[in-house]
Amino acid sequence: MTVETLADWYDVLRLLTDAGYTLWQMQYGIDAPEGFQARFIAPGQLTLEVITHAQDVHDAVLAFKG
């Protein structure tokens, strides 16, 4: 899913936290055409991918402590 605002990130953050996700892997960067891509995993759940080009969302993903 693409997340370009902190408001949208907070909705995703709630989902990640409630379902027990942890940050698994990251690639690229906000200045790449693909955007910064972060993947999250949780037992018994599908892998969730967040893509962003926004610096504040990138920073919030890196601060995620799931």
Q: pLDDT tens, 6-59?
A: 999 999 999 999 999 999 999 999 999 999 999 999 999 999 999 999 999 999
Cα–Cα distance for residue pair 11/17, rounded to 1 Å? 10
- CA nearest neighbour of 50 among 11, 12, 5, 18: 12
Total structural domains within the chain: 1
Cα–Cα distance for residue pair 34/14, rounded to 1 Å? 25
Residue 66 pLDDT > 90, yes or no?
A: no
16 occurs within a structural domain: yes
49 occurs within a structural domain: yes
24 occurs within a structural domain: yes
- CA nearest neighbour of 9 among 63, 60, 62: 60
Token pair 């906000």 in the structure block, residue:
30
Strand partners of residue 40? 23, 48
1 occurs within a structural domain: no
Domain that includes residue 35, residue range: 6-63
